[in-house]
Structure 1
Amino acid sequence: MPRPRVGDDDALLRVEACGLCGTDHEQFTGTLFGGFAFVPGHETVGVLEEVGPRAAERWGVAAGDRVAVVVFQACRECDACRAGDHRRCARHGLRDMYGFVPVDREPGLWGGYAELAYLAPDTVLVPVPPSLDPVVATLFNPVGAGIQWGVTVAGTRPGDVVAVLGPGIRGLSTAAAVRDAGAGFVMVTGLGSRDAERLVIAPRFGADLVVDVETDDPVRALRDAAGRLADVVVDVTANAPAALGQAVALARPGGTVVVAGMRGTGPVPGFQPDVV
């Protein structure tokens, strides 16, 4: 693909590293946003190769700086952007996410799986210290999600009992985040052999209890271990609709359930609206 031309208000990134997400696999297999050509990759870290003067002033950067690229673009003017909720930007929303834009939208290089990535004027950048390995820096995306879902959105407080459903990278990041926020007890659940190795390492990320929901009842296990149900439940399972019913069952009356992993339009087995 041709090298994009940089104007006053945009930039070009020399990609150093880009994380591989489950969403990227779904794009590749066609189960998510299929049907068009695109450059995937939305956990991108690199060095600014060219940057326009207005963009440099707005972002507070210069050519040669290392940055991480936030997947969502932000107009910085709407109510959602002013509140820091870029994914609900009135101008962009979920339409203009890096790694999901068709190549027929100029200049085409809208993802991190390339040598160069185009940065539009409404891009959100995060400075990355030169001393930090860019491969390690790509964890800004899943770790940031764990902090957002487990602490910022959930409002986890010291002493809370927290249940995290799903031991993937975002689930383990959530466990670490709530533990750092002072959670008094943390349970992490997984499903069968596919999650066995992840459950083994979950205690290193702050879990007091791990439960394989294929063989054990997580509600009973939490009651037995913590003495009560969860103040906060964070569901980060990927395409596992049954987890929503478990999440609701695990929450105490008046508790908080953060649904971060579920999407689609399929049935939700085990979900009882009356419990909500």
Structure 2
Amino acid sequence: MAQTVRGVIARGKGLPVELTDIVVPDPGPGDAVVRIQACGVCHTDYHYREGGISDDYPFLLGHEAAGIVESVGDGVTDVVPGDFVVLNWRAVCGTCRACKRGRPQYCFDTHNASKKMTLTDGTELEPALGIGAFADKTLVAAGQCTKVDPAARAAAVGLLGCGVMAGLGAAVNTGNVGRGDTVAVIGCGGVGCAAVAGARLAGAAKIIAVDIDAAKLDTARSIGATHTVNSRETDPVEAIRELTGGFGADVVIEAVGRPETYKQAFYARDLAGTVVLVGVPTPEMTLELPLLDVFGRGGALKSSWYGDCLPSRDFPVLTDLYLQGRLDLDAFVTETITIDAVEAAFHRMEKGEVLRSVVEL
């Protein structure tokens, strides 16, 4: 039977979000209903509200979430009611050309629930990243549910669902940071700080955090940066070179998504070094680089989508590392809030006052 629960929606560009009643249908084949315990407030949700993703209003916001599986549809075998899960927006298909080549982390045909959640008047909702977790319960594809150890704190491990995994994976999966490497991270918001944590986890010898905000640099140092550079005061390329014996970093992770900072990342790497773009640019941005410099410096220029993660592989391992005290996910939870405080959390996020506000239900 369909259920009516609370959910946070965006009705139009620039309008404050609204807490209202939504209808969650019974799960169809391959679906699962999940009772949400915690959901992080991510920049992507703000972009949805502002029309930066699409104009398919109304949106049901929220996607960095953890909760308990309540019911499943026909054909679901990987999760059962009662499982503690972290939600993800990469439910791999298993049959596309990437999956068949053994690269499911690049699945080209990820999928969502077979049914739509609605407002009480029947208006269909577009769930953020196919999840819609600023709600008491949500309907997702069962493949979007990844079982993890239920001893973990939902507010912490739920962040693996997007921002933390994106940054950590940019270092570990995309950048292939190894023991003894030098790493620079440009932009120390939630994703950038997660990249710092990933570089530390991978055994990097030197981790240089770059930002224009002193408070963010302090946070990056507390998470694992060995050095910080305030690029409002210092040329970051020169500073990174000075800290790496004049050579540049082995891996530079750009977590801003702007042409200016990408160029800094490009020139701040060592010869044959790697640049990883995990910051999300806007459609109108363009990049111009001398082609001879691209050729002459060698190495790799990579983009990282969701940290090149495979949730079924990465989420349980990272949860275990969290429970062992080797990955401090709690450090990313700046505050916990109630479901009616999402709009205020957006304002704090835009001011750079938080790594993550997390809605607890």
Compute the TM-score of the two structures, normalised by the length of structure 1: 0.85
The residue that corresponds to 1:126 in the other structure is 146
The residue that corresponds to 2:280 in the other structure is 262
SS in 2 for 1:148: helix
The answer on whether the counterparts of 1:234 and 1:247 sit within 8 Å (CA) in structure 2 is: yes
The residue that corresponds to 1:243 in the other structure is 261
C-alpha distance in structure 1 between counterparts of 2:211 and 2:178, whole Å? 24
Judged with a 3 Å threshold, the aligned counterparts in structure 2 of structure 1 residues 36 and 53 are, in CA distance, closer, same or farther, namely: closer
Q: 2:138 aligns with which of 112, 117, 142?
A: 117
Asked if 1:153 is matched to 2:174, the reply is yes
- State how 1:265-276 maps to structure 2 within 5 Å: 265-268=283-286, 271-276=289-294
- State how 1:214-233 maps to structure 2 within 5 Å: 214-227=232-245, 228-233=247-252
Q: Per-residue deviation at 1:270?
A: 7.2
Q: Per-residue deviation at 1:271?
A: 4.3
C-alpha distance in structure 1 between counterparts of 2:94 and 2:219, whole Å? 39
SS in 2 for 1:25: helix
Asked if 1:166 is matched to 2:184, the reply is no
SS in 2 for 1:5: coil
Unaligned runs of 5+ in 2: 1-21, 295-361
The answer on whether the counterparts of 2:117 and 2:125 sit within 8 Å (CA) in structure 1 is: no
Matched AA of 2:268: L
Judged with a 3 Å threshold, the aligned counterparts in structure 2 of structure 1 residues 75 and 106 are, in CA distance, closer, same or farther, namely: farther
The answer on whether the counterparts of 1:48 and 1:65 sit within 8 Å (CA) in structure 2 is: yes
- State how 1:202-213 maps to structure 2 within 5 Å: 202-213=220-231
Matched AA of 2:94: R
C-alpha distance in structure 2 between counterparts of 1:144 and 1:180, whole Å? 13
Aligned length: 262
Judged with a 3 Å threshold, the aligned counterparts in structure 2 of structure 1 residues 107 and 62 are, in CA distance, closer, same or farther, namely: farther
The answer on whether the counterparts of 1:242 and 1:271 sit within 8 Å (CA) in structure 2 is: no
C-alpha distance in structure 2 between counterparts of 1:164 and 1:114, whole Å? 34
Asked if 1:73 is matched to 2:116, the reply is no
Pick 1 or 2: higher relative contact order, CA cutoff 8 A, min separation 6. 2
After superposition, give the CA deviation of every residue in 1:127-153 in whole Å (9 maximum; x if it has no partner).
132222211121213332233210111
Judged with a 3 Å threshold, the aligned counterparts in structure 2 of structure 1 residues 212 and 271 are, in CA distance, closer, same or farther, namely: farther
Larger CA deviation: 75-84 vs 154-163: 75-84
C-alpha distance in structure 1 between counterparts of 2:123 and 2:173, whole Å? 34
Judged with a 3 Å threshold, the aligned counterparts in structure 2 of structure 1 residues 269 and 9 are, in CA distance, closer, same or farther, namely: closer
Unaligned runs of 5+ in 1: none
Q: 1:178 aligns with which of 182, 199, 202?
A: 199
The answer on whether the counterparts of 1:151 and 1:181 sit within 8 Å (CA) in structure 2 is: yes
Asked if 1:89 is matched to 2:124, the reply is no
After superposition, give the CA deviation of every residue in 1:198-247 in whole Å (9 maximum; x if it has no partner).
1012112221211111210112112222212011111111x433111101
**Percentage identity across paired residues of the two chains:** 30
SS in 1 for 2:237: helix
Judged with a 3 Å threshold, the aligned counterparts in structure 2 of structure 1 residues 212 and 32 are, in CA distance, closer, same or farther, namely: farther
C-alpha distance in structure 1 between counterparts of 2:126 and 2:218, whole Å? 42
Q: Per-residue deviation at 1:107?
A: 7.9
Q: Per-residue deviation at 1:251?
A: 1.1
The answer on whether the counterparts of 1:10 and 1:51 sit within 8 Å (CA) in structure 2 is: yes
The residue that corresponds to 1:44 in the other structure is 65
For the aligned residue pairs, the C-alpha RMSD in angstroms reads 2.6
After superposition, give the CA deviation of every residue in 1:67-119 in whole Å (9 maximum; x if it has no partner).
01111232122232354544x43323xxx579xx9969978664111121112
The answer on whether the counterparts of 2:237 and 2:267 sit within 8 Å (CA) in structure 1 is: yes
